[in-house]
Structure 1
Amino acid sequence: MIAAKKGSALIQEVHQTEVPYGTLAIWFLGQESVIVKGDDVTIYIDPYVSDFLDRNGPVRSYPAPICPKDITQADLCLITHEHVDHMDEGTITVFHAQNGSAPLIAPACCHQDLRRMGVSDSSILTADVSEPIELFSKLKITVIPAAHEQLEQDDRGHYRSVGYVLELNGVTLYHAGDTVIYPGLTERIAEISPDVAMLPINGGDYYRREEGIVGNMNYREAAELAVRSKSETVIPLHYDVFAGNSEKPGYFLDYLYERYPEQKCHIMARGERFVYVSPRAFVQQSS
């Protein structure tokens, strides 16, 4: 009961938050699950908030800040890949039922499972790296290949795992999804020079791979990627939900502080609203 009230209050905060030009509001739901809001567009990325007590598989370290039934007035859902902590059936089925007009963008390999979850064909869009996706006359999405732990493509050239660059409300945000650093990624992100980069830090190792846990960049690699890609602010992800696949975000923070003390960084609390403010927020817009 307490968790439900908390979730309802968080969603009410999302609905009521006004986001001036040059800013984005971001809510952290754990793992790589976030809500992004700007210019009256509310986007869910990898929403993973179903009740961990009712699931088969790994047990969450803590309950999600919201429940699937809390999610209303969503405009878009982005899925980075098919793993259960990124494309969560318990969340997606309710999300689509309650936000039927909101498209879901996902890699092509996810489409069959999304249909099985009850998502209508008309609501599913393919995460295609070939050209940007423009929605709502105010949002531009560029799909970035992700290597989790390898770059994998189907016979039509569609990537199995992706990240997303969002250009919204005068702010550019890069959500990497699950990925290691591969040749060309740093240069590609440096061309974008995101205002906000959201990067996994949990790494990977032989013993986790033996258990079927696919790895990501580690905290050192994520810190270096943020710096070398000229990301204005970096937010670490994917370190907190599963005890067997976790990392200490303090290591990430210490690494940046000791080597790149001018690199802006923010570690988000569970359920926190973080409002990113760019220099463009203070520039008067011409009519």
Structure 2
Amino acid sequence: MTEIRSDWGDWLVRDVADATPDGVAIWYLGCNGFVLKGSEGTTLFIDPYVGLGDPPRTVRMIPVPFDPEDVADADAVLATHEHTDHVHGPSQAPILANTGATFYAPDDSLAVARDEESWTDEWDVAADQLTDVAEGETLEIGEFTVHVEDAHDPDATHPVSYVIEHDAGTFFHGGDTKPSDEFDRIGDEYDIDLAALAFGTVGRIPDKRTREPKRTRWYNDENQIIECAAALQCERLLPSHWDMWKGLTADPTALHHHANSFTHPRRLEIVEIGDRVDL
């Protein structure tokens, strides 16, 4: 069992625990991780990852912002797809064990948790805490309504996105999705206030099998992320994932130039790991 040790101690966990938002507070955990806390205290984690990657192939470029063992309050952990930086036992299983939260994920993500990493054997996680979700389903989690929606990530076997509704507004988490034909429908169906979409550059990353450098594009480029945001008709766009992996980092402030002539997004939310935004 791998232990996680935070570079920041427990201040971020305490910041979430002590917060009393009027609507919904959202903290960016770096990579593609977020934690949402509503005005009634319901707390959701989405794709929290505090692992170090697989050096020298994937090298973490940002601090480890919290120790999962320090999390005492959570109602659910949501995963978008099966990749390690989205489903990771040392990052997520201790949260489930400490809080009794439910892990919601598509089938291939659950296969990682159940079979590859054996969360129920390695941590104090019960089998009924692991719940399968699929596109078209709706979950009621405390004060949040969570819609499981389509995503387009050619590198994943079964990716999903989440539309999370609250009286204060609506948050969209796309995982590592690239532009999808479904986003026009999603944009018409929901009134999305804030969308988190993965952004990065193209770089040369060692191949997983041969370890030879290979031209790699895992995330949206500048044009793709604005294409997604425009189709989703989101008011605010929050670029994520740009900070994480050596060789694939990017400058999200460059997106101002790409977004300027589009109706949506109306505003960019440029945040760094540990920052909070509100709906």
TM-score class, shorter-chain normalisation, is 0.7 to 0.9
Deviations 1:46-68 (A, max 9, x none): 01014x29989622012222122
Q: Alpha-carbon deviation of 1:37?
A: 0.9
Deviations 1:113-157 (A, max 9, x none): 212122422111112213311222x221111121112785xxxxx
Contact 2:87/2:112, CA 8 A, preserved across alignment: no
Instruction: Give the unaligned 5+ runs of structure 1.
Output: 153-159, 277-287
One-letter amino acid of the structure 2 residue matched with residue 26 of structure 1: I
CA distance in 2: counterparts of 1:55 and 1:12, whole angstroms = 30
Of 198, 208, 223, 2:226 maps to: 223
CA distance in 2: counterparts of 1:8 and 1:232, whole angstroms = 32
2:178 aligned residue: 180
DSSP 3-state at the match of 1:222: helix
CA distance in 1: counterparts of 2:85 and 2:78, whole angstroms = 13
Richer in helix (by share): 1
2:271 aligned residue: 268
Q: Alpha-carbon deviation of 1:221?
A: 1.9
Contact 2:7/2:64, CA 8 A, preserved across alignment: no
Q: Alpha-carbon deviation of 1:103?
A: 0.5
DSSP 3-state at the match of 2:15: helix
One-letter amino acid of the structure 2 residue matched with residue 274 of structure 1: V
Deviations 1:252-281 (A, max 9, x none): 2332246569811111122112223xxxxx
One-letter amino acid of the structure 1 residue matched with residue 76 of structure 2: L
2:119 aligned residue: 117
2:107 aligned residue: 108
Q: Alpha-carbon deviation of 1:172?
A: 0.9
Task: Give the 3 Å change call, closer, same or farther, for CA 54–90 of structure 1 in structure 2.
Answer: farther
CA distance in 1: counterparts of 2:216 and 2:9, whole angstroms = 29
Task: Give the 3 Å change call, closer, same or farther, for CA 172–76 of structure 1 in structure 2.
Answer: same
Task: Give the 3 Å change call, closer, same or farther, for CA 103–95 of structure 1 in structure 2.
Answer: same
TM-score, normalised via structure 1 length: 0.81
Once the two structures are overlaid, the 10-residue window that deviates more, 259-268 or 101-110, is 259-268
Q: Alpha-carbon deviation of 1:86?
A: 0.9
2:148 aligned residue: 143
1:14 aligned residue: 16
Contact 1:191/1:229, CA 8 A, preserved across alignment: no
1:94 aligned residue: 94
CA distance in 2: counterparts of 1:250 and 1:37, whole angstroms = 27
Contact 1:92/1:117, CA 8 A, preserved across alignment: no
Task: Give the 3 Å change call, closer, same or farther, for CA 189–55 of structure 1 in structure 2.
Answer: same
Q: Identity over aligned residues, as a percent?
A: 25
Contact 1:227/1:263, CA 8 A, preserved across alignment: no
One-letter amino acid of the structure 2 residue matched with residue 97 of structure 1: A
Contact 2:233/2:265, CA 8 A, preserved across alignment: no
DSSP 3-state at the match of 2:10: helix
DSSP 3-state at the match of 1:243: coil
1:155 aligned residue: none
One-letter amino acid of the structure 2 residue matched with residue 40 of structure 1: G
DSSP 3-state at the match of 2:59: coil
TM-score, normalised via structure 2 length: 0.83
In the TM superposition, what are the counterparts of 1:29-108 in structure 2 within 5 Å? 29-38=29-38, 39-50=40-51, 52=52, 58-99=58-99, 101-108=100-107
Of 132, 137, 144, 1:131 maps to: 137
CA distance in 2: counterparts of 1:174 and 1:267, whole angstroms = 16
2:164 is equivalent to residue 162 of structure 1: no
CA distance in 1: counterparts of 2:152 and 2:251, whole angstroms = 22
2:210 aligned residue: none
Instruction: Give the unaligned 5+ runs of structure 2.
Output: 208-212
1:254 aligned residue: 257
One-letter amino acid of the structure 2 residue matched with residue 102 of structure 1: A
DSSP 3-state at the match of 1:25: strand
